Amino acid sequence: MPDLIIDGRAVSVPKGTMVIEAAERLGIMIPRFCWHKALGAAGACRMCAVMFTAGPVKGLEMSCMTPAADGMVVETFHPEAVAFRRSIIELLMVNHPHDCPVCDEGGHCLLQDETISGGHSLRRFPGRKRTYLDQNLGPFIQHEMNRCIHCYRCARFYQEYCGYRDFGPMQNANRVYFGRFDDGALENPFAGNLADLCPTGTLTDKPARFVSRRWDCLRAPSVCLHCSLGCNVTALSRYRRVARIEARENAAVNGSFICDRGRFSAGYEAIPERPRSARLDGNAVPAIEAETALAARLAALAEKHGPGSIAILGGLRSTMETQAAGIALAQAAGWRAPAFFATRTEQAATQAALAVLTPPRARSLAEIGKADAVLVLGVSPLFDAPMLALALRQASRAGAKIIVADPRPVALPLPFTHLPVPPRQFPAVLAVATGSPDAAAAAAQKRLPFAPELWPGLETAAKALAAAKRPALVFTPGLAAALPDDDRLGLFPVLAQASSAGAALLAPTDAPGLDELAADVAAGRVKGLVVVEADLFAAAPGLAAVLGKLDLLVVLDYLPTPTVAAAHIVLPTTTIFESGGILAASDGRLQAASPVQSPGDPVARDGAGSHPPRAFDRPLPGTDPAPAAFLLDRLARGLGLTLPREPLAALAAAIPALAGLDLAALPQDGLRPAFAGLAAPLPAPLPLSAESGLAVIYTDALFATDEPGRYAPLAQAQTQAGPPVLLLHADDAAALGLADGLADGLAVSLECGNRLVPATLHLSRAMARGVIVVPRVPDLAGLPPILGPCGLRRR
Amino acid sequence: MQVDTPQVLFKNRHLGRPATLAEYRAGGGYEALAATIGKRTPAEVLQLVLDADLRGRGGAGFPAGRKWQGVPTDHVGTRYVVVNTDEMEPGTFKDRILVNADPHLVIEGIVLCAYSIGASEGVFFIRPSYEGDAELIEQECRVAREHGYLGNNILGSDFSFDLHVHRSAGRYICGEASAQIKAISGLRPNPRKGGPRTAVKGLWDCPTIVNNLETLANLPGIVRNGPAWFKALARSATGSGTKLYSVSGQVARPGCYELPIGVTIREIIFEHAGGMAPGKTFKTVIPGGASTPFLPEALLDLEMDFDPMRAAGQRFGTASLMVFDQGTCLVGATLSLMEFFARESCGWCTPCREGIPAIRELLRRIEGGQGTEEHIQMLTDLLPVLDKAYCAFAPGAAEPVRGLLTHFMNEVNAHIVQKRCPFGNPPPTLRGKACGTRPIQFGPTPCPEDQCPI
Amino acid sequence: MSPLPTELETELARLVAAVPRPREAAVDVMYALQRHYGYLCDEAMHCAARVLGMTTLELESLATFYDYLYRRPVGRYVIHVCDSVVCWMFHQDSIFDYLCRTLGVPPGGTSEDGLFTVLPAACIGNCHNAPTMLINGRFYDRLTPERIDAVLAELRAGTEEPVRCK
Ligand SMILES: Cc1cc2nc3c(=O)[nH]c(=O)nc-3n(C[C@H](O)[C@H](O)[C@H](O)COP(=O)(O)O)c2cc1C
Ligand code: SF4
Ligand code: FES
């Protein structure tokens, strides 16, 4: 722990800390451009020069490249250092355009800040400015190369940190140019971070252009809804639409970055189709009218068929407040226990995946980035949880071995071993990989006798995990029961959706699966269904198919789903941007989002056609949506019931893992409950037999396969038009007679329920045998777990 | 040419063509190697080099033995020797002459270094304009391999070492040791600082010694004749060995001369190089290559050696003397140097990437008669900024400017007062330079004069 | 993309195989393709990327960094005229201007017959023979306008049909 003095104040920092970071601990921000917490030092900009007046280093040095050492005395305000830094700014400004008012970075520009604070305001230099031509870098990042100050942050992030190789520096000397070989979209799914990283207006958020000046935006801390990792974001809103999403630092979760899915999947809150007013039997009505009718109808149903004929169903993209309110209402009204998951098995598995996260075993996403061997089971990181891929890349850069066992073809920007096995072999893979490394070869042959091509990979995995000091397992919930009982192995689950963990934490043990509910509806045991922020057509096609049998379908939602369209009564709810709330990430970490805007039509639409002046007397249009928890509470009152003032707090008090936590004051990094371990060993899931057909594996894409993202125009625009693409192992295709001739890109149809869905079949050899990989699109939601022999046909 | 100075490196130069293996051996060539491999331990060779106080001839003058000591002894795996034949410092051409005189001397030196540090791979990094020499080295390596001086089991021992040529595509910055390693690795040759030294973690993350070609060529002599002999070659108290001095500019006999370390500058110019060219009067000399300052006439009796030069505020550098006569405009000369530095920078850090072109621009104005007092102030302000650049490139570029402002301020002032070049040079902005070899689809936009895109 | 001649493919494969990692051969491969195409056209860059397993951006990063790799069409003979300080001292500029005037090209330009491109070059290590220039690996010493005329004439006489890339 070196002790040093910076600007007269003593500080003690861990060995290896650079002086610039040590200063930061004292709240002293030494000017910098190239240094970045996540990227480290480059020493390129020379902006962070400080004076070392005593100790092992003497004279003017860069604080980003100088490790703190005992006895150092550092003066950031030394006149020589100040003069030097001023010269650097002057040099950078020699070629920088002076048009901050039209620059998209203006107002939140590090270069602007340092120029102003350094006191450089008059140009002495007589020469002309260097100019560049810009490139089109695709839909997300705007390029204005004249603004570049050559800090190399972008290139270091893009190539070293992320491992993508289509963007970088070109040319030399004062012509260095950051771009691509030619125009085209950036390949890096984390490229959006360039907008945050670039300290100037060179690389900016393209979709956010011409929406708002950044300083005019309302800003609030939020949590990403687009996968289960719970990355922290800042939502910026202007004119009642989300203008942009930025990464928000959370050292335990996403660090400084987020993925492009998280950044560019907002916008669903502002689409014209969003349910904005209450609807009663297809007609827009004042909210109060719908609520009164709803209470009356529910009361009548309960009267007629008993309260058990009413069920409530919660979504996996809701805040925990909403989930808890639904549970509380069901309990108070004596309805059926609320359903969240497709099946009871899935619910139990998700609950088990959290329960195993005992303090010694739980790992955060950031800790996965520091692991020295990681076995990923049943997760394709880039698509199921994109930021996991970036964490794995950091682990890999530090030398970790990465092994991914997943039936799908897996692409990652890092060296890794892929074990393409179908899910039913995950337990075997797990057993061999976490077993004794010496016996691994024999075990692999014994347990996976039919797949000799996997044996070397399995042996590598076993050796790597055994030799590692900080090994970790990333797993899907289905595997929770099979995890070895070894405290050395850290655990990190990846769940299906952003609120899967919240639902698993809160759902009562007797909660039915959606499949049971479907059976109950079909059998007439359930007559009324209250759906809170879920789309049955995607989540439970079986249930969606029998909706006609219901006397009453009530939907509370903020997305214009087909379920909303089918509802008798619709109550519009607010999005996370309008109500905030608590979300539990895949590792159970509780994090709070704050509201950033009021509901209500975006100004652009509100004013359309009657651009000023506008009438002042009418109420703000589109403000009917209310937080679902609030609507549920009102409903309870309408039924003459009283819910707890804070259903979530009340519910949490009774849940061991959550009891005693102060949910109203969650810390910055979020709070991970201490889970107690599995109460009783779970029954191992029934292995699916392969012989009868192809196991169906749903897969996500980077964009628009998550539910909110499907309704985000920008995310939607990234998807390819045309029939969905299915993936099949080339040998399986041959066995099915689908591999002849131009089999790759073959037009096929897929039997889905009683429909035939047209699709395109692609073949691969980098995937498991016996499976068919299907994109997670609503059209294909209702496939059986095993596709029968006639399920796939040539078109 | 004076012949009484011992010719060690240039022993075979009189042939006027590359010495053959036979010729090299006739003069005792490869004896050092034969006496070393299997007979001395690598540590003994290192000790000889340490005792001889062999200092790097590539510009920085770092003791070679001390650099080699940095190689971790417990490293398992390959170690590399990189032979730095980039030689792009303006005024320097000694390495080319040396390879051309005696390629096997160079090869023997390289093998001795490799033996001492336990390297099994060598990379001969050579600039594109020396393509002929690259081919010569490749050819002579084949000869050496046939005779067991290179390749597997050298001289029948269990020591194996091989050398291959890496052709650069040309940039001065590639001469910097860490940048050179990156260049060899197919990366952009930005120097690297911080982190382990190249002797610990260099090429492909293995221990790597980068030495100048001339440095290595001294090894056969040292090993054969011993450190005392080597030290005695020098004329100064602190120096050791001889040195190849590249002399160019307005002298009667420009060329490369092997002379002891410690000869005076006056002796080099006025005896060996035959004095000033006919009709020319001495004004100044840049003594150590483009990265060293102008030297005023008063210092002509300075000894050419690392420490005395430094003490006098001068730099030994690559010992490349560029001699200027009274008729040459030093603002123009400095500007020419800045054109070079501005063009050759790697573009990594602000002082170098932005600072040198800024100096160039200011000098263009002054040379063109548009300079003002303020421009001199700006030049002065920029020098300490260049000194704190990422690597030694920009500090080197600052030296001539500093020399100009320290010793020849009167010339600068004359430009400002007369509003033109007193030597009658045309304003530099008139000679636009545009280069047609880079893609146009991205910038900088092709421009007439202020941004030479070469 | 038209296929490369077999000998060139073999040569490229040899270059890549000769080094511990393909990246090391990047410059050599680009030189070889430059010899074939006359300059590094986009097609050449794609070939190099394929042979080396690098991206075109990575190769562009290198090709545009260096002096002797040409990404735009150049003449059969690229004349690197040294403009560093020693040559400058010998009125290099007039040599440069003379070349440009004689060939009717701006600096960096290529003569109409496609034979010559004139480029200012960093010190080429031939200072004792200043002023000097380098053409396809050969030094030309102590230049004067007369000598330049002779050199150009000699090169013109000895040229076969230049290789062109569209
Ligand atoms: C900008 C720059 C250019 C250099 N160019 C060369 C060069 O062309 N040849 C050379 O031998 N050393 C050059 N050097 C010095 C090398 O970095 C390194 O010190 C040298 O090769 C080590 O060899 P030595 O110790 O034998 O001199 C250069 C250094 C810098 C900073
Ligand atoms: S584009 Fe931005 S991040 Fe990249 S070097 Fe320029 S200023 Fe830095
Ligand atoms: S922050 Fe230290 S040099 Fe850029």
Tens digits of residue pLDDT in A148-162: 999 999 999 999 999
Is there a single domain that holds both residue B124 and residue B146? Answer: yes
A480 alpha carbon – ligand 1 mean position (Å)? 59
Longest dimension (CA), chain B: 72
Instruction: Give the Å distance between the CA of B350 and the centre of ligand 3.
Output: 10
User: Domain end: B170, B192, B226, which one?
Assistant: B226
Residue B13 lies in a domain: no
Closest CA to A648 of A312, A311, A225, A323: A323
Range of the domain at B301: 234-325
> Which three-class secondary structure state does DSSP give residue A391?
helix
Q: Could you give the CA distance from residue A266 to residue A245 in angstroms, rounded to a whole number?
A: 8
Q: Quick check: C107 and B344 CB within 8 A?
A: no
Q: Which residues contact A433 (CB under 8 A, 6 or more apart)?
A: A375, A403, A405, A440, A458, A461, A462, A465
Nearest-angstrom CA–CA distance, A445 and B409: 83
Residue A272 CB neighbours (<10 A): 11
For residue A744, what pLDDT is reported?
Answer: 65
* Residue A250: strand pairing partners: A255
- Chain C environment of A167 (Cβ under 8 Å): 57
Ligand 3 environment, Cβ below 6 A: A 32-35, 43-48, 62, 64
- Find how far residue A598's CA is from the centre of its chain: 24
Inspect the interface and report whether the beta carbons of B348 and A152 lie closer than 8 Å: yes
Q: Does A187 touch chain C (CB under 8 A)?
A: no
Task: Give the pLDDT confidence score for residue B454 in this predicted structure.
Answer: 38
User: Tokens standing for A415?
Assistant: 């060296």
Task: Evaluate if residue A47 carries a pLDDT over 90.
Answer: yes
- In tens, the pLDDT along A382-398 reads 999 999 999 999 999 99
Lowest mean pLDDT among A45-54, A471-480, C93-102, C142-151: C93-102
Q: How is residue A620 written in tokens? A: 């703000």
B73 CA to centre of ligand 1 in angstroms: 25
Is the pLDDT at C44 greater than 50? The verdict is yes
CATH label, A354-494, candidates 3.40.1480.10, 3.40.228.10, 3.40.50.1000, 2.60.450.10: 3.40.228.10
Residues 6+ apart with CB under 8 A from B375: A126, B362, B365, B366, B416
- A771-775 and A725-729: which strand pairing? antiparallel
B432 alpha carbon – ligand 2 mean position (Å): 29
The confidence band for A685, taking pLDDT boundaries of 50, 70 and 90, is: low
Q: Assess whether the C-beta atom of B60 lies below 6 angstroms from ligand 1.
A: yes
Cα torsion at A56, A61, A67, A72 (round to 10°)? 40
| Amino acid C165: pLDDT | 44
Helices within A101-230 (DSSP H only): 110-117, 153-155, 193-197
Q: Tell me, what CATH number does B379's domain have? A: 1.20.1440.230
Closest-approaching ligand to the CA atom of A44: 3
CB atoms within 10 A of CB A476: 21
Looking at residue B97, its amino acid is I
Q: What is the C-alpha R_g of chain C?
A: 17
Task: Kindly report, residue by residue over C47-93, the tens digit of the pLDDT.
Answer: 999 999 999 999 999 999 998 999 988 899 999 999 899 999 987 66
Does one domain contain both B215 and B148?
Answer: yes
Side chain identity at residue A339, one-letter code:
A
Cβ of B353 within 8 Å of Cβ of A87? The answer is no
Residue A189: asked if its preceding bond is cis (omega within 30°), the reply is no
pLDDT at B429: 56
Residue C106: give its domain's CATH number. 3.40.30.10
Chains with at least 3 CB pairs less than 8 angstroms from chain B: A, C
Q: Give the separation between CA C42 and CA A181, rounded to whole angstroms.
A: 9
Ligand 1 lined by B125 (C-beta under 6 Å):
no
Mean pLDDT computed over every residue of chain A = 93
Same domain, C47 and C97: no
In the predicted structure, residue B445 carries a pLDDT above the cut 60:
no
ipTM of the complex: 0.94
Whether residues B221 and B245 share a domain: the answer is no
Residue B438: list chain C partners with CB under 8 A: 64, 71-72
Q: What pLDDT score does B130 carry?
A: 94
Residue length, chain C?
Answer: 166
Which residues of chain C neighbour A158 with C-beta distances below 8 Å?
Answer: none
- Of C1, C156, C18, C136, which Cα lies nearest the Cα of C70? C136
Residue B223: predicted pLDDT: 96
- Return the pLDDT at A762: 92
Q: Does A131 touch chain B (CB under 8 A)?
A: yes
Subunit contact B333:C85, Cβ cutoff 8 A: yes
**Residues of A in Cβ contact (< 8 Å) with C64:** 170-172, 177
Condensed to tens digits (0 to 9), the pLDDT of residues A323-350 reads 999 999 999 999 998 999 999 999 999 9
Quote the ligand 3 centre to A65 CA distance (angstroms).
Answer: 7
- Spans of all domains in chain A: 3-92, 354-494, 694-794
**Domains contained in chain B, number:** 3
Interacting residues of B97 by C-beta distance below 8 A, sequence separation 6+: B13, B244, B246, B256
CA triple A109-A113-A117, angle to 5 deg: 170
For tokens 């509370």, the residue is: A556
Confidence at residue A620, expressed as pLDDT on a 0 to 100 scale: 72
Q: Residue C160: which pLDDT band, with cuts at 50, 70 and 90?
A: low
Residue C125 pLDDT > 80? yes
Centre of ligand 3 to C-alpha B390, Å, is 10
Q: Which residue of A has its CA nearest to B353?
A: A174
Nearest CA in chain A to B372: A126
Q: Are residues C91 and C117 in the same domain?
A: yes
B190 lines ligand 1 (CB under 6 A): no
Q: Which ligand is nearest to the CA of A154?
A: 2
Please tell me the total number of residues recorded for chain A in this structure: 795
Across the range B281-308, mean pLDDT stands at 95
pLDDT of residue A417: 96
Helix locations, A612-662, DSSP H: 628-638, 647-653
Nearest by CB to residue B443, choosing from A45, A133, A149, is: A133
**Is residue B446 located within the same domain as residue B354?**
yes
Q: Find the domain containing C132 and state its range.
A: 77-156
Q: Is the pLDDT of residue B450 over 80?
A: no
Domain stop point among C35, C63, C91: C63
Does residue C125 lie in a domain region? Answer: yes
Q: Contacts of residue A169 in chain B, CB cutoff 8 Å?
A: 188, 347
CA–CA gap between residue A172 and residue B347 (Å, rounded): 5
d(CA A492, CA A486): 14
Average pLDDT over residues A672-699: 78
Residue C117 lies in a domain: yes
Residue C72 in any domain: the answer is: no
**Which residue, B280, B308, B325, sits at the end of a domain?**
B325
Could you tell me if A156 lies within 8 Å of chain C, comparing CB atoms?
A: no
Tell me the average pLDDT across B207-232: 96
CB contact under 8 A, C24 and B437: no
Residue C150 inside a domain? The answer is yes
Q: Other CB atoms closer than 10 Å to residue B106's CB: what's the count?
A: 27
User: What does DSSP assign to residue B333?
Assistant: H
Residues of chain C neighbouring B336 (CB-CB closer than 8 A): 83-85, 88
Is the residue at B11 inside a domain?
no
| Residue whose structure tokens are 């066995």 | A735
Mean pLDDT of chain C: 89
Query: Where does the pLDDT of residue A524 fall: very low under 50, low under 70, confident under 90, or very high at 90 and above?
Result: very high
Among A200, A232, A212, which residue's Cα sits nearest to residue A45?
A200
B320 shares its domain with B360: no
Same structural domain for residues B68 and B161?
yes
User: Is C166 domain-assigned?
Assistant: no
Q: What is the DSSP letter of B277?
A: P
Nearest residue of chain B to residue C133 (CA atoms): B129
Say if residue B308 is in the same domain as residue B260: yes
Instruction: Pick A694-794's CATH classification: 1.20.1250.20, 2.40.30.10, 2.40.40.20, 2.40.170.20.
Output: 2.40.40.20
Domain assignment present for residue C162? The answer is: no
C39: which 2 tokens? 């300059």
CB B160 within 8 A of CB B152: yes
Report, in this order, helix, strand and coil percent for chain A, each rounded to 5. 30, 20, 50
**Domain final residue pick, C22, C40, C63:** C63
Closest Cα partner for A320 from A551, A669, A647? A647
Counting the structural domains of chain C, the total is 2
Q: What is the DSSP string of A452-521?
A: GGGHHHHHHHHHHHHH-SSEEEEE-GGGGGG----TTSEEEE--SSTTHHHHHHHS-TTPPPHHHHHHHH
Q: Is the pLDDT of residue B259 over 70?
A: yes
Same domain, C131 and C91: yes
Q: How far apart are CA C112 and CA C133, in angstroms?
A: 21
Both B84 and B177 in one domain: the answer is: yes
Do A180 and C64 make contact, defined as CB atoms within 8 angstroms? no
Fold of A3-92: Ubiquitin-like (UB roll) (3.10.20)
Please compute the mean of the pLDDT values over residues A642-651 and round it to a whole number. Answer: 95
pLDDT tens for residues B3-46? Answer: 478 899 999 998 889 999 999 999 999 999 999 998 999 999 99
Q: How many CA atoms lie within 13 A of C75 on its CB side?
A: 26
Q: Which pLDDT value is given to residue A614?
A: 56
**Is the CB–ligand 2 distance for residue A42 below 6 Å?**
no
Do B314 and B286 belong together in one domain?
Answer: yes
Tokens for B76, please give them.
């398992």
**Contact between A49 and B387 (Cβ < 8 Å):** no
- Beta strands per DSSP E along A502-596: 528-532, 552-557, 569-572, 581-584, 590-593
Looking at the structure, do residues C103 and C136 belong to the same domain, yes or no? Answer: yes
Q: Whole-angstrom Cα distance, residue B137 to residue B285? A: 33
Task: Give pTM, 2 decimals.
Answer: 0.95
Does residue C34 sit in the same domain as residue C105? no
**Structural domain ending residue among the three candidates B290, B325, B360:** B325
Q: What b/e readout covers B253-283, taking b as 16+ CB neighbours within 10 angstroms?
A: ebbbbbbbbbbbbebbbbebbbebbeebebb
Residue B308 sits in the same domain as residue B339: no
Instruction: Give a yes or no: residue B201 inside a domain.
Output: yes
Strands A694-699 and A590-593, by their bridges, are: unpaired
Taking CA atoms only, the protein residue closest to ligand 2 atom 3 is A198
Give the closest residue (by CA) to ligand 2 atom 8.
A151
CA distances A262 to A235, A267, B147, Å, are 11, 11, 66
Give the lowest-confidence range in A17-26, A699-708, A733-742: A733-742
Whether B79 and B188 map to the same domain: the answer is yes
- Taking only the tens place, the pLDDT of each residue in A139-198 is 999 999 999 999 999 999 999 999 999 999 999 888 899 999 999 999 999 999 999 999
- Residue B275, domain CATH: 3.10.20.600
Tell me how close the Cα of A31 comes to any Cα of chain B, in angstroms.
14
Q: Do C83 and B336 touch (CB under 8 A)?
A: yes
Exposure string over A192-228, b if 16+ CB within 10 A, otherwise e: bbbbbbbbbbbbbbbbbeebbebeebbbbbbbbbbbb
Please check whether residue A277 is in contact with residue A624, taking contact to mean a CB–CB distance below 8 angstroms: yes
